[in-house]
Amino acid sequence: MQTKLFDNNVDFFHSILDDIEHAKHSVLIEMYRVFNDKTGEKLTETLIEKCKQGVEVRLLLDAYGSRQFESLAKRIRKHGGDVRFFKKIKVFLINTFLKNNSRNHRKLIIIDDRIVYFGSSNITGYSRTWRDLNLRIENAEFTTVFRPIFEKSYELHKFYDIDPFERIKPVVYKDFRIIQDTPSIRYQSVRNHFIHLIQNAKSEIIIETPYFLPGFMIRRALMNAAKKRGVTVKLLIPQYSDVQSVDILRSKYLGQLHKSGVQLLFYTPNNLHAKCMLVDGQRFSVGSSNFDYRSFRYQFEIMISGKDQNIIKLIAKHLRETEAHCIPFKYDVWKSRGAIVKFTEWLMFPIRKLF
């Protein structure tokens, strides 16, 4: 199993293009956001060339996240490729906002049933400088596991009403578990997976996420791990993400987490968009899900968890490099934040589950 980790989006995109250019049979892409920019145009040109060579080209893009890609999608279709948009925005008699808020947030690329990419990156010039985390695994047996997952999403792209009690069982391959979420209040597989890892941690938990807005159960699990069991808990988050409303809301929780012993570290160079967890240096989770209500309750997400030592070494190195560019949370500064900031937190708190 050949594995590479990309935390630089420029290198990540070049690697994808190189693999697509060498594709012989199929290119399958499931992505939340692809823009009609230079990055999207380059991807389109490369895919069109593969269509001309008779390679199977299929894309499943989120209709909201990739709404700018419509014109480029027409060009791909013209040359024999198939581009589908997941759940176009519609007006319903009731719950219009909630139904339209259920987006396909997954990031998955499968090439020749031999190479699979998964992680946190979208394909846009907008996120060119962000710090992300993506794994490229070259192994035919492992990669074949992902095609049925893609096919299922591909067939569901027009479904607007998802059963809120539906639960997709994890796909197990050797020491790997592929956890998938569909919008649900009752079954939140990714959230429950995170809680299980936190509750069973013995020595160390490192979480890296751009949007930290978890519910009470995860906050309690993190605080109990640090305060009651003496587990080292590190939370790596961007000092300023690209979603200011989440930054404002998360602030409300930081003081209590800090007092319980959770180490809060703010990444400063740019937006930290990576999504991963490493527990006891023995189990990792990498994928598309954020630590927030929106990912857990409303979005289609995918996380890959495992114990592969080569992957763990790559992730541990990535996390050390992230932490080297972080500054610690300052409780005194947080406690003395202004009345307007506190009022804004209070005002937004009732709608926190929609962000």
Q: 3-state class of 35 per DSSP?
A: coil
d(CA 57, CA 259): 51
Contact 267, 273 (CB under 8 A): no
Structure tokens at 289: 């899900």
Mean pLDDT, consecutive 10-residue segments, the chain of 355 residues? 96 98 97 95 97 97 92 96 85 57 90 97 95 97 94 74 59 93 82 96 98 93 97 97 88 93 97 98 97 88 96 98 98 89 79 67
For 104-121, write each residue's pLDDT tens digit.
999 999 999 999 999 999
Structure tokens at 16: 């994808």
d(CA 292, CA 172): 25
Tokens 């594709």 correspond to 23
The dihedral over CA atoms of 283, 285, 290, 292, expressed in degrees to the nearest 10, equals: -40
d(CA 167, CA 182): 7
d(CA 13, CA 159): 30
Average pLDDT of the chain to the nearest whole number? 91
Structure tokens at 156: 């569901």
Q: Which helix (H) or strand (E) holds 52?
A: helix 38-52
Task: Supply the pLDDT for residue 156.
Answer: 75
For 56-91, write each residue's pLDDT tens digit.
999 999 999 999 898 999 999 999 999 999 877 665
All residues at 6 or more sequence positions from 206 whose CB lies less than 8 Å from its CB, including other chains: 234, 236, 277, 278, 279, 319
